[in-house]
Amino acid sequence: MAIGSSTHLGADQPSDLVPPGADPLTAPGAKSRRSRLRLPSSLKVLIGLGTLIAFLLLAVIGPWIAPYNPTRTFSTTVSFPQPPSVAHLLGTTQQQQDVLSQLLAGGRSTVLVAFVAGLVATALSVVVGVTAGYLGGLADDLLSMLANFFLVMPALPLLIVIFGFLPASQGGDDLLIGLIIAVTGWSWGARVLRAQTLSLRRRDYVESARIIGERGWRIIGFEILPNLTPIVASSFLFTVLYGVGTYTALAFLGLINPNHLSWGGMLFYAQVAGAEQSGYWWLFIPPGLAVALLGTSLALLNFGIDEFINPRLRAAGLTRRRARRAGLPGAAQLPRRFVLGLTPVVRYTPVTVTGGVTASHQPDEGGSQ
């Protein structure tokens, strides 16, 4: 999976990491202001949120609503995966296990691992990033180097090596897996948070808190952290997304205990059964789609947070559609979308050639540009 977040990464200057000029974290008199909970307004965010909640529910109740025991084999004589039928809505695996049950039950471990990874990685990134940004100096240099190291190191190969050496018995512990994945996923968030902390540290209200002798951790806790909330949230979602993908990949490679049910594991078995060559689509489409949808919901939510962090990313200006929806007169005069350097003219008075202009305005002299 590729990175697709708005917070771009460049040199270690904070100004390179925060889009220039877009500083929604300050407003006149912004002091330790908790970012208010804004109700999501855009459609894609709502869809993302809804889908995510559905998946979380599935993780909890999945194994209970599965029609059969996921590991139960229905026949020992048939050796080919069976296509979907009335008895097995999504068919059976090569071992004659019900695919639907596996799908519903497998969600739990995927969601669990991903969220554990997300939480731990985010916590790590906050600790490392904020500390590095706040303390500066040698601590900053060392922590930054550590973060950069993990950033550059390709995560999946490293995880493959680690899990490859891990005995199979350990490979079924969701918590441990999540922890190990977290170790490779915290560095990006740490860099962003460090840069943001650096820039916040120079703010007047933080400086004044230091001057009056407030303790470091109090400053961090009350002045800096609240302002980092949207970035932390975005980092969390991104890491969970990363966790989902990585865990699925590891299971697909067979590095996770095969008895431990997960969507990636289902894909592993699909590969073993030669699903793509033989056209057993029900073996790989349901789990793959589930992973993709879970990931999509996280990415959509991230979109929303990105737009919150960087208000410029929200739709610019007033488009014709919006104006019409708002019931504004003269909506038809607006261009379909805003073009830089061509300020829209909703209403205007034409200039008469004689060089003089009559004083009275003629409203509704429709003109559009």
Partner 1 sequence: MNAPLLSGARAGEPLLEVSGLCVDYGAGPGTVHAVLEADLVLHRGEVLGLAGESGSGKSTLAYAITRLLRAPGMITGGSVGYHQEPGRVVDLLAADEGVLRVLRWSQISVVLQSAMNALNPVFTIGSQLTDVLRAHRPGMGKAERRARAAELLAMVGITADRLDSHPHELSGGMRQRVMIAMALALEPQVVIMDEPTTALDVVTQREILEELMELRERLSFAVIFITHDLSLLIEIADSIAVMYAGRLVERAAATALFRAPRHPYTLGLLSSFPALHGPRKQLTGIPGSPPDLRQLPAGCVFHPRCPYVMDRCLTERPPLLQLGVNGEWSGPGRWVGAGADRAAACWLQDGSVAAPPELARPAPGVKQPAGLVTSAEPAEPVVPSAPATRSQP
Partner 2 sequence: MRVISRRIGFYILTAIAAVTVDFFIPRVMPGNPVSAVIAKMQGAVITKATIRALEVQFGANTPEGLWGQYVHYWSNILHGNLGISTSNGMVPVTTVIRGALPWTLGLVGTATVLSFVLGTLLGVLVAWKRGSWLDNLLPATTFFQAAPYFFLAFLAIDLFAIKLGWFPAGSARNTLDFPALDWTYISDVLDHAILPALTIVVASAAGWVVGMRNVMITTMDEDYVLIARAKGLPKSRVIWYAARNAILPSISSFSLAVGFVVSGALLTEIVFSYPGLGFILLTAVQDADYALLQGIFLVITMAVLLANLAADFVYVFLDPRTRQEA
Which residues contact partner 1 (rule: CB under 8 A)?
Answer: 316-318, 323, 326-328, 330, 334, 338, 340-351, 353, 355-357, 359, 361, 363, 367, 369
Q: How far is the CB of 70 from partner 2 (least distance, A)?
A: 20
Rounded distance between C-alpha atoms, residue 8 and residue 12, angstroms:
11
348 binds, among partner 2, partner 1, none (CB under 5 to 8 A by kind): partner 1
- Residue 313 binding partner 2, by CB under 8 A: yes
- Residue 152 binding partner 2, by CB under 8 A: yes
Site residues for partner 2, 272-311, by CB under 8 A, read 275-277, 279, 281, 284-285, 288-289, 291-296, 298-300, 303, 306, 310
Cα-based distances in Å from 315 to 21, 62, 108, 231, 304: 17, 38, 37, 20, 12
57 binds, among partner 2, partner 1, none (CB under 5 to 8 A by kind): none
DSSP 157-178: HHHHHHHHHS-TTGGG-HHHHH
- Residue 16 binding partner 2, by CB under 8 A: yes
3-class DSSP string for 112-135: HHHHHHHHHHHHHHHHHHHHHHHH
Rounded distance between C-alpha atoms, residue 124 and residue 145, angstroms:
15
221 binds, among partner 2, partner 1, none (CB under 5 to 8 A by kind): none
- Residue 29 binding partner 2, by CB under 8 A: no
Q: From the list 249, 256, 261, 323, which residue makes contact with partner 2 (rule: CB under 8 A)? A: 249
Residue 80 in contact with residue 92, Cβ under 8 Å?
A: no
Rounded distance between C-alpha atoms, residue 53 and residue 44, angstroms:
14
Size of the site for partner 2 (CB under 8 A): 81
Q: How far is the CB of 64 from partner 2 (least distance, A)?
A: 27
- Residue 229 burial (CB count, 10 A): 14
Residue whose CB is less far from partner 1, 216 or 367: 367
